[in-house]
Amino acid sequence: MADKTALVVGAGSGIGRATALRLAQLGISTAVADLNAEAAADVAQEHHSLTTLGEVSWDATDPVACDQMLDEAVNVLGHVDHVISTVGWTAITPFLEETPEYWRRIIDVNLMSSIYLSAAAGRVLRERGGSIVLTSSEAGVVGTSGETVYSAAKAGVIALVKSLAREWARHGIRVNAVAPGITATPLLESQGGEALLNSIVRAVPLRRAGQPEEIAAALAFLALDDAGYITGQTLCVGGGLTMGS
């Protein structure tokens, strides 16, 4: 895989960081991007196969920035084979206590970023093929109390993946998603920490939260050649909380 390259967006912490490190350990030249430029730089220091796209704060909710991000990735890496987005954000709040401004932010971060990044990635990948892997959520599969609009946005990511996979198959572009369940990330800690975690994992058949590295393994698998005959799929990685037929 020495000639393969990847871009991981949202790589500054949690699942994104773990994904970038996994790709690097597999020998893939990987560029990391994040809204937090300092965090991305710190991740890039962890493995020689990682690099940043300059000291830039990349905002995936800005379509112009997404185009610039992909262009810069091509400049840095020479070409791009795989684009993985782990961008996401939520807060657990009752639906009727939320504001339209909050809904807009949730949709921008969790759905529009995937649309903008996919458009930018498709423009770059359609000449040589490749893969796009987006991050949905099990909330987008079954819905979640306290995360209504987040669930709707993540469900939108699943529909986006299916549609793009059909439209871009002729270009040799595979499009898939991973839907994490409860995962021990800094975002989860900021939302309620151990008490919230304990209350949720009781519903998980494996009786524990996932680790970022476990989600990263699924993201990397779908991106790389081992999944070369898989497209339009959403892989749930949540300890059995949701089970397909």
Q: Answer whether 117's CB lies under 8 Å from 66's CB.
A: yes
Q: Which single residue is written with the structure tokens 């309620």?
A: 192
Can you tell me whether residue 210 is helix, strand or coil?
A: strand
d(CA 185, CA 10): 13
Is 102 labeled as catalytic in the residue annotation? no
d(CA 8, CA 84): 5
- Phi first, then psi: give them for residue 52, nearest 5 degrees: -95, 165
Q: Which tokens go with 47?
A: 């493995």
Q: Which tokens go with 193?
A: 């920490």
In our burial notation (b when 16+ CB lie closer than 10 A, e otherwise), range 163-199 reads ebbeebeeeebbbbbbbbbbbbbeebeebeeeeebee
Percent composition of the chain: helix, strand, coil (DSSP 3-state, to 5): 50, 15, 35
Can you tell me whether residue 102 is helix, strand or coil?
A: helix
d(CA 153, CA 157): 7
**For 11, which DSSP code?**
T
Catalytic residues: 150
